[in-house]
Every structure is written in structure tokens, then in C-alpha cells.
């Protein structure tokens, strides 16, 4: 689970300039608005609704939700392409290093993990929790 979250974070940082959590949550409630608030950052909310405003293009930096703000000539696709061109190498390295790190960690921690799982089984909660 943690490995999948880290890999999702790498992908959304590379393509959208935001963490996976911020990419998904930004803009859906008033408490989460404003994290995707700069050039090169797109949230899921912006991808779905940005082209339904009065401006046919993505509005970049200095704008607020619901307002037209300063219209840019940069489309969502161009922002994603630009982010991927700038971030492809770190994303590739992280995408390879994270699974390798988890495999090494599992090998190094194999005995403590086994002992923890045995303790959970003895406590009767092994069916609900696994290390």
C-alpha cells in the first residue's frame, strides 16, 4: 500500500506538479482550494472544470476558483507535456528506486516482520492486520 502511494505521488508530481493527495483533493471543497495555484500545477478539479469557464484555456497563477483571472495561452495538455519534459528523469529514477527499496527493506526486515505477524496471529487479529 505504501509503495503504491509513493509511486502515485511520483506520477502526479511529474505530470501535474502536485502530490497525489493534493491532485485528487484540491478544489472540491473550499477548505482544499488553492494548492494547485501556480504555473505548471493542475488538479483533477481543474482538469475536469477548467475548460467550462468563460476562458477556453487554462488560467494560470494569480487566479481564483470561479473567477476568470488572467487567461493564459497554455492548455492543460501543454502544461502536462511541459511538466513531463522537465520531470521525466527524476520520475524515472524514483519509479525504479522505490520498488527496489521496498524489496530490499522486506528482505532486511523479514525476521521482525515474521515475528510481528506471529504475535498478531497469537493475539487473534491476524485476519484483520498484516505487517
104 touches 66 (CB < 8 A):
no
First to last CA, the chain: 11
- Looking at the domain assignment, is residue 129 inside a domain? no
Q: In which domain, by residue range, is 31 found? A: 2-123
Residue 91 sits at φ, ψ, to 5 deg, of -65, -40
Question: Could you tell me if 129 and 120 are in contact, meaning their C-beta atoms sit under 8 angstroms apart?
Answer: yes
pLDDT of 58 reads 46
Spans of the chain, pLDDT less than 70: 30-36, 50-73
Specify the number of domains making up the chain.
1
pLDDT of 35:
65
Please state, in angstroms and rounded to a whole number, the distance separating the CA atoms of residues 57 and 63.
13
Identify whether 131 is part of a domain.
no
Amino acid at each position: 500500500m505504501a509503495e503504491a502511494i509513493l509511486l502515485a505521488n511520483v506520477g502526479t508530481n511529474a505530470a501535474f506538479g502536485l502530490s497525489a493527495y493534493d491532485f485528487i483533493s484540491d478544489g472540491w471543497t473550499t477548505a482544499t482550494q488553492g494548492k494547485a495555484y501556480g504555473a505548471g500545477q493542475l488538479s483533477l478539479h481543474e482538469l475536469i472544470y477548467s475548460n467550462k469557464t468563460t476562458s477556453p484555456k487554462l488560467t494560470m497563477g494569480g487566479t481564483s476558483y470561479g473567477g476568470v483571472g488572467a487567461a493564459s495561452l497554455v492548455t492543460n495538455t501543454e502544461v502536462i507535456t511541459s511538466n513531463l519534459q522537465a520531470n521525466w528523469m527524476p520520475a524515472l529514477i524514483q519509479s525504479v528506486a522505490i520498488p527496489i527499496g521496498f524489496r530490499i527493506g522486506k528482505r532486511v526486515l523479514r525476521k521482525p516482520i515474521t515475528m510481528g505477524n506471529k504475535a498478531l496471529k497469537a493475539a487473534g487479529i491476524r485476519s484483520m492486520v498484516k505487517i
